[in-house]
Amino acid sequence: MPEVEILATRTAGRVAKSHAKQVFIGMRQGCILDSQLCENLDSTLRALLGAAVPGIQFSTREDVVSLLKSRGFFSIDAYQDSAIRAVASSLRVEVLVIDNLIWKGANYELSSKIIDVSKDKELDIFTVKISRPATPNEEEPVFFREGGSGPFLFIERRNSNHFPPFRYPACDKCPDPKYPAEARHKGLEGTIVLLVTVSEQGMAEQISLIKSFDSDLTASALQAVQSWRFKPAIGLDGKPIAVRVPIEVTFRLLH
């Protein structure tokens, strides 16, 4: 497919410019809409980089999943770029390429985001439009989980958030966390990022830490989220389902 070739060529050129020798090419959950497209981009990109960068090595999805699971994550979390970024440095990955697919009317938007791991900095993002074949039930979101058990990921198509009876999880009772006195005294501000399973009962379970900058603030964020109560996600059959979602807890001082 020429659009995939174009995207792979642009992405490979930018990765080669970074002089990285250890790369991981991952997929965000949007790729579940058409995994073959993202896999084609992955294989084309590997071939181009292998020819352009002598000695380049690629970490595998299995490497990432194994490391995530060793840290209490789910294998399905490998579809979250924040989770991939959290473990990439432990695999000695220098550059991440995260592929994603977004539903755009009659088209898909296929993208590749390039990230410098050591600087935790986005270097570039490239996108192409690809014609999308018509599919049945285009209004419905896609639900995905691995192995027939565990929490779901959900992927929007056209207007999934307006499709009854589907509902995203939403906070019901989510009070702000306590601001630790020492952190307040130091003037510490920022965001703690967590990956959470919101259960069928609306509880925050299986909480994994993605990003932190202070241990006291992290402990306060975790304590708060564990006490939160949610309106659970509702599947297409009208029944509550457990879903895996990122949650950001932000601490800001009033100046």
User: Which CATH architecture fits 162-251?
Assistant: 2-Layer Sandwich (3.30)
pLDDT at 195 over 80: yes
Residues of each domain in the chain carrying CATH 3.40.50.10610: 2-131
CATH no. for 2-131: 3.40.50.10610
pLDDT at residue 192 is higher than 70 = yes
Looking at the chain, which residues constitute the CATH 3.30.2420.10 domain(s)? Answer: 162-251
Residue 213 has pLDDT above 80, yes or no: yes
Confidence of residue 158 (pLDDT cuts 50, 70, 90): low
pLDDT at 162 over 60: no
- Strand 121-131 to 240-241 pairing: unpaired
Query: Could you count the other beta carbons within 10 Å of the beta carbon of residue 215?
Result: 10
Neighbours of 31 (CB within 10 A): 22
Q: What is the Cα–Cα distance from 82 to 211, expressed in whole angstroms? A: 8
pTM over 0.75? The answer is: yes
Task: Kindly report the average pLDDT of the chain as a whole number.
Answer: 92
Is the pLDDT at 101 greater than 90? The verdict is yes
* pLDDT band (50, 70, 90) for residue 160: low
pLDDT greater than 70 at residue 159: no
